[in-house]
A and B are shown apart, each in its own frame.
Chain A
Amino acid sequence: MKDSQLVFFLGVPGSGWAKIDSLMRQCKNFKFNESDYNENTVWSRDTNKYYLNHKGHFLGPGSGVGEGFYDIGKNYTKESFIEECMKVYEDVNDEDSYMIKCHWFCEMHNIKWLEKHFPTNRYICVVRDCELCNVRWLRSMTFAKDYPKYTAWMVKEDPDEEFGSHCIENENNLRRLNKIHDTNLRSFVRRKADLIFCPTRYMLDRMGYLWDSTGEHEFTWYKKSYMSDKNIRTRAPQYDTSVALINCNKELGF
Chain B
Amino acid sequence: MESFREEQLIFYCAVPGSGWAKLSLLLSCCAKLNINKTDRRPEWEERGRLGDTNHVFHKGCYWDPQREYGGGFDDIGKNYSKESFIKECLRPYLEHDDRNYLIKSHFFAETKNLNWLIENFPNNKIIFVLREAKPCFEGWHTGMSFTGHYPNYKAWMARTDKDMCKENYDKLWKLIKKHDGMIRRWISDKNCYIIQPNKHFLNQLGYVWDNEGKEEYMKMMHTHQFYSTPIPMYDAPFCFYNCDDIFSIKS
Contact = CB atoms under 8 A, between A and B. Distances in A.
Contacts, number: 83
Contacts of B250: 249, 254
A194 B201 CA distance: 7
Interface residues on B, range: 20 to 34
Contacts of A249: 249-251
Contact of B184 (A186, A187, A195, A236): A236
A196 B201 contact: yes
A240 B247 CA distance: 23
Contact of B231 (A187, A202, A239): A187
B93 interface: no
Given A239-B130, A254-B248, 10 more contacts: A129-B233, A190-B230, A194-B249, A196-B237, A197-B195, A202-B193, A228-B184, A240-B235, A254-B247, A254-B250
Contact of B230 (A129, A187, A193): A187
A242 B232 CA distance: 12
Interface string A99-111: 0000000000000
Given A237-B188, A254-B248, A197 B194 contact: yes
Q: Is the interface of A mostly helix, strand, loop or mixed?
A: mixed
A127 B247 contact: no
A225 to B, nearest CB: 14
B163 interface: no
B249 A195 contact: yes
A198 B181 contact: no
Contacts of B54: none
Contacts of B196: 196-197, 242
Interface in A205-254: 223, 228, 234-240, 242, 249, 252, 254
Contact of B249 (A200, A235, A240, A252): A252
A203 interface: yes
B198 interface: yes
